[in-house]
A and B are shown apart, each in its own frame.
Chain A
Amino acid sequence: MIALKNIFKWYNVGGNRNFILKDINLDIQQGEFISIMGPSGSGKSTLLNIIGMLDEASEGTYIFQDQEVFRLKEKQRSQLYKDYIGFVFQAYHLIDELTVYENIETPLIYKDMKSSERKAIVADILDRFGIVGKKDLFPNQLSGGQQQLVGIARALASKPKLILADEPTGNLNSKQGEEIMELFKQLNKEDGITIIQVTHSEKNAAYGSRIINLLDGRIDTNTTL
Chain B
Amino acid sequence: MLKNYLTIALRNLGRNKIYAFINIAGLGIGLACSMLIMLYVKDEVSYDRFHDNVKNIYRVVRQERDKSGKKTGNDPNTGYFQGPKFAANVPGIKSFVRIQSGSRDVKRADEITSSELLYVDSSFFSIFSFPLEYGNKLNCLKDPYSVVLSEEEAKKQFGTANAVGKIMQIKEDDGFKPYTVTAVVKKTPENSSIQFNMLLPLKVAAEQEQNPENWFNIFLNTFVVLQPNANLTAVQKGMQRFYEQDSKNAVKILTEKYGPMNNKTIYQLQSYADMHLSTDFPAQNGLTNASKPLYSYILSGIVLFILLIACINFVNLTIARALRRTKEIGIRKVIGSERKQLIFQFLGETFLLSLLAFLLAILLVQLVTPVFNNLSNKALSLSYLLDVKLISGYVLLFLLTGFLAGIYPALILSGYKPVDTLYNRFIPGGKNYIQRLLVVVQFALASFLIIATFTLYSQFNFLTHEKLGYDDNNLVMVNKQSLSKDEAKLFKTELMKNPSITGFSPKNGGQWGTVAKTSSDSTMQFSYETVDESYVPLLKIKLQQGRNFSKFYPSDADNSVLVNEAFVKKARWKNPLEQKLNFWYDNNKKYTVIGVVKDYHFQSLGQEISPQLFTMKDNGFGVAFIKIKAGKETASLDFIQKTFKRLFPLNPYSYTFKNEENLKNYEAEAKWKQIMLYSAVLTIFISCIGLFGLSVLTAEKRIKEIGIRKVLGASVNHVVTILSVDFIRLVAISLVIAVPLAWLAANKWLQNYPYRINLGWEIFVSAGLLVILIALFTVSFQAVKAAIANPVKSLRTE
Report if A and B associate in a common complex.
Answer: yes
Give a binary string over A46-65; 1 marks a CB under 8 Å from any B CB, 0 the rest.
00010010110000000000
Q: Is B423 an interface residue (CB 8 A)?
A: yes
Q: Are A81 and B7 within 8 A (Cβ)?
A: no
B336–A81 CB distance below 8 A: yes
Quick one: which of B195-228 are within 8 Å of A by CB? none
What is the chain A residue whose CB lies nearest that of B421? Answer: A93
B4 & A171 in contact (Cβ 8 Å cutoff): no
Asked whether, in the complex, the Cβ of A87 is within 8 Å of the Cβ of B334, the reply is yes
* Complex-state Cα separation, A94 to B332, whole angstroms: 10
Question: Which chain B positions have C-beta within 8 A of A52?
Answer: 334
Question: Which residues of B have CB within 8 Å of A155?
Answer: 335
Establish whether residues B334 and A97, one from each chain, have CB atoms under 8 Å apart when the complex forms. Answer: no
| A98 interface residue (CB < 8 Å to B) | yes
Query: Which chain A residue has the least Cβ–Cβ distance from B328?
Result: A95
- Given known contacts A54-B419, A106-B4, A109-B4, is B338 in contact with A78 (CB within 8 Å)? yes
Complex CA gap A52/B331 in Å reads: 13
Residue contact B336 to A97, C-beta cutoff 8 Å? no
Residue A91 at the chain B interface, CB threshold 8 Å: yes
Q: Which residues of B contact A171 (CB under 8 A)?
A: 798
Contact at B419–A55, with CB atoms within 8 Å?
yes
Within 8 A of B (CB), among A77-112: 78, 81-82, 87, 89, 91, 93-98, 102, 105-107, 109-111
Q: How far is the CB of B611 from chain A (nearest CB, A)?
A: 77
Which chain B residue lies CB-closest to A50?
B419
CA of A55 to CA of B334, assembled, Å: 11
Q: Select the stretch in B8-16, B121-129, B620-628, B683-691 that faces chain A.
A: B8-16
Cβ contact within 8 Å between B335 and A154: yes
- Measured CB to CB, the residues of B under 8 A from A are 1, 4, 7-8, 11-12, 15, 327-328, 330-338, 341, 417-419, 422-423, 798
Provide the bound-state CA to CA distance between A40 and B763, in Å.
62
Given that A102-B7, A106-B4 are known contacts, is A95 also in contact with B338, CB under 8 Å in the complex?
A: no
State in angstroms the CA–CA spacing of A45 and B12 once bound together. 31
The CA of A109 and the CA of B6, in the complex, are separated in Å by: 14
Pair A93/B12 contact, Cβ less than 8 Å = no
Q: How far is the CA of A105 from the CA of B8 in the complex (A)?
A: 13
Cβ-defined contact, A107 with B798, below 8 A: no
The answer, yes or no, to whether A158 is at the interface (CB within 8 Å) is yes
User: With A54-B334, A109-B4, A110-B337 in contact, is A93–B422 under 8 Å at CB?
Assistant: yes
Measured between alpha carbons, how far is A111 from B333 in the docked complex, in Å? 12
Report B-chain residues with C-beta under 8 Å of the C-beta of A109: 1, 4
**Once the chains bind, are A98 and B7 in contact (CB under 8 Å)?**
yes
Q: How far is the CB of A41 from chain B (nearest CB, A)?
A: 13
- Chain B contacts for A55, CB-based, 8 A: 419
Quick one: closest A residue to B337, CB to CB?
A110
Q: Is the CB of A89 within 8 A of B336?
A: no
Which residues of A lie under 8 Å from residue B419 when comparing CB positions? 49, 54-55
A98 to B656, CA, bound (A): 71
Q: How far is the CA of A158 from the CA of B336 in the complex (A)?
A: 10
New A-B contacts (19) at CB < 8 Å, excluding given A78-B336, A107-B336: A49-B419, A52-B334, A75-B338, A89-B422, A93-B334, A95-B331, A95-B332, A97-B12, A97-B328, A98-B4, A98-B11, A102-B4, A105-B4, A106-B335, A107-B335, A110-B336, A110-B337, A154-B335, A158-B335
Give A163-181 as 1s and 0s: 1 = Cβ < 8 Å from B's Cβ atoms: 0000000010000000000
Q: How far is the CA of A171 from the CA of B331 in the complex (A)?
A: 18
- Contacting residues, chain A, for B330 (C-beta < 8 A): 93
With known contacts A54-B418, A89-B422, A171-B798, A111–B8 Cβ distance under 8 A = no
Query: CB-nearest residue of chain A relative to B329?
Result: A95
Residue ID in chain A nearest B9 by CB atoms: A97
List B contacts of A158 (CB < 8 A): 335-336
Q: How far is the CB of B284 from chain A (nearest CB, A)?
A: 63
21 A-B interface contacts by CB (under 8 A): A49-B419, A54-B419, A55-B419, A78-B336, A82-B336, A87-B334, A87-B335, A91-B422, A91-B798, A95-B8, A95-B332, A96-B327, A96-B328, A97-B7, A97-B8, A97-B12, A97-B15, A107-B336, A110-B332, A110-B338, A154-B335
> Does B1 lie within 8 Å of A93, measured CB to CB?
no
| Cβ-defined contact, B11 with A97, below 8 A | yes
Assess the A110–B341 pair: CB atoms within 8 A.
yes
Residues of A within 8 A of B335 (CB): 87, 106-107, 110, 154-155, 158
A25-56 interface bits toward B, Cβ cutoff 8 Å, 1 = contact, 0 = none: 00000000000000000000100010010110
Give the docked Cα–Cα distance between A105 and B419 (Å): 22
* Contact across chains for A106 and B332 when beta carbons are under 8 A apart: yes
Question: CA of A155 to CA of B334 in the docked complex: distance in angstroms?
Answer: 10
Taken together as a complex, chains A and B put the C-alpha atoms of A54 and B337 apart, in Å, by: 12
Residues of B within 8 A of A93 (CB): 327, 330-331, 334, 422
Which of A91, A93, A105 is most buried by chain B, counting CB atoms within 10 A of its CB? A93
Residue of B nearest to A138 (CB): B11
What's the nearest-Cβ distance from chain A to residue B22, in Å? 19
Residues of B within 8 A of A54 (CB): 333-334, 417-419
For A95, the chain B residues whose CB sits under 8 A away are 8, 328, 331-332
CA distance A93 to B328 in the complex (A): 8
Closest to A154 in B: B335
CB A36 to nearest CB in B, in angstroms, measures 16
Contact of A94 among B331, B336, B417, B798 (CB under 8 A): B331
5 closest residue pairs by CB, A with B? A110-B336, A107-B335, A82-B336, A97-B11, A54-B419
Residues of A within 8 A of B15 (CB): 97
A168 CB → nearest B CB, Å: 14
**CA A82 to CA B336, docked complex, whole Å:** 5
CA distance A52 to B418 in the complex (A): 11
Instruction: Digitize A120-151: 1 where CB-to-B-CB distance is under 8 Å, 0 elsewhere.
Output: 00000000000000000000000000000000
Task: Determine how close the nearest CB of chain B comes to the CB of A54; give it in whole angstroms.
Answer: 5
Instruction: Give the distance to chain A from B643, nearest Cβ to Cβ, in Å.
Output: 81
**A78 contacts which chain B residues (CB < 8 A)?**
336, 338
* A158 to B, closest residue via Cβ: B336
Give the residues in chain A near B11, CB-CB below 8 Å: 97-98
Q: How near does chain B come to A122, taking the closest CB pair, in angstroms?
A: 13
Measured in the bound complex, the distance between the Cα atoms of B422 and A49 in whole Å is 11
Give chain A nearest CB distance to B648 CB in angstroms.
82
The smallest beta-carbon distance between A159 and chain B, in angstroms, is: 12
Specify which chain B residues have a CB less than 8 angstroms from the CB of A45 in the assembled complex.
423
In Å, the complex CA distance between A52 and B419 comes to: 10
Q: How far is the CA of A54 from the CA of B425 in the complex (A)?
A: 14
B420 to chain A, nearest CB (A): 9
Query: Closest CB of chain B to A176's CB: distance in Å?
Result: 16
**Which chain A residues lie closer than 8 Å to B798 at the CB level?**
91, 171
Q: CA–CA, A204 to B702, complex, Å?
A: 37
Q: From the candidates A75, A87, A98, A154, name the one contacting B8 in the complex (CB within 8 A).
A: A98
Complex interface: chain A residues within 8 A of B331 (CB): 93-95
